[in-house]
Structure 1
């Protein structure tokens, strides 16, 4: 059974930011009836307070639904909720007017007027702030704030409020609603920026994979292109010599056989990655790439004087581990250490993003299987999996007397 916060730990960073943003606006919406309720129940009879709170609760429910749909639209899951935005705008205006008019013309006392005034101000400020979530252009947000602020002043003046007081009312509504609208607009911008950065990180990982494929293609072309051309040329020469019954044809075919066997060996070296990877360069590159992706990376240990075979094998481990950290889980910190106990080298890569998306752990895959093959060829071992402290740990161990495994022609 997972821990109570397991659902949060399984979320990616953008999903966490989205969840935080969504619930922040839900709580902001719930603060509207809290503000009005404290004023209402503190100044008027409970029955009157409940009567006032009923339309306010309906307004809050509509605002929360609108905010949720607007956030879905902001991240590209739904179309823009235009009907809900218009409905919230109309409900906000009607409720504000319904609260202001009785306070000016109805037979209400000072306490009831205070309550209705709080309804007027809170409904406008919170309503405009929630509607701003569904707008993408700053110009429209500004017009929304200015429009409701001017409308509040005009309605207040039309109901008999002095011009100076009505102007002050308009300024207050504009400033307060503008604050909530700016908060909404900035939150949407920040959420989109987080998603864009996460997409850029995934794109960088895919580009790294594509670059490796291109490198493999270039190496394979370099190995096979020249040798195949020589094989074709010598085979044609052998055919011509055989037709003339010249004994040199046998020598040419022996040469073709030798080149073919050499090509087979070189292809196996390319596929298995026996072309040397410098460990120090891989460590430096891993630190730079991870820090560019916003992951704190620390590298420690001594790599000088290691045999070429050991450096090559461990360099591939660092490269694959870096790709896994970028493409899986949600790491914030990664540590790479190189230790040299007696007669062996131990490379440890740890990161705090052990849990991958959808709750799967990264304990297998073709990448780790390929690393085990590379390490076994030099007498090394690989251990990878989630540790008890919630980290994903990869440990590669290679003896210092490592020698390349002998190739057996297939």
Structure 2
């Protein structure tokens, strides 16, 4: 049976979700019967979800509560808290879990923090262990907590205009993170136009490198390609930047491509970036025109080419997921999800196959 845990926004975040929900279809007729089956655990605005690689544990970013929380599977379609919520940072909007289950990374849009938590053998979130000397320096001199580092402006020192900021001057907005094959972590900072690379230290994260993207691009989400390239979609400039690692481990930009040739900067805001299982295609959703753009991966993974654009069937497509050759799209403002067929040969979305009412959806996570 096809089933998905659903993240969503609650009343305090202008939504109607009552917690982590369940989307499921009737056995044998999943595509045409996918429907919202209710909340399985009540928590406020679990906007992003992540699965532990081996344990039956799901993690939620509680965006409105500045916390993350673990939930253990307690039945076929039930989750129960595995420990209390753990404080993290303002507007935590993304979490990533290491492939060996050792750590969780939380990205906080509101204050720019990128925070590492260790996970125990059962998948519980362990509170960060503060370094006593660093805590004293923070108290005396106002230095940032090393267990929750926030981004600093790049070396150019130029203030960029942030279209979402009341004063216009940019500030740090961490948005997503991904574990790299070498054990480091890449994160995006939408406010400072940065892709940052971290090493995991004993008390948190240690900054290893920053790649500065062009001013005002707004890097948002990322995917690792099987070729080893890192693709980054930008919310403000509607582009996909491709980064490659050099022999010495440093990263650099090798190409940039428009997410869509008809995307309108200032009107369209790309959200998620997803890839097909074989890595031949990438897909991003444009909030504004409410479309799905398909891009073909060329060469050795270093180049992209736009191949198709299609209606998403929802309003404000915040997240989409490629699953068994189809695409699920979450419409944050329409309170709907859609299921789109995909052309295996061309990668093009073929139109809406199914639609269902869902309270303010923001993220899909397959039920394992």
Q: State the TM-score, normalizing by the size of structure 2.
A: 0.22
Larger radius of gyration: 1
Structure richer in helix, relative to its length = 1
Higher strand proportion: 2
TM (normalized to structure 1)? 0.20
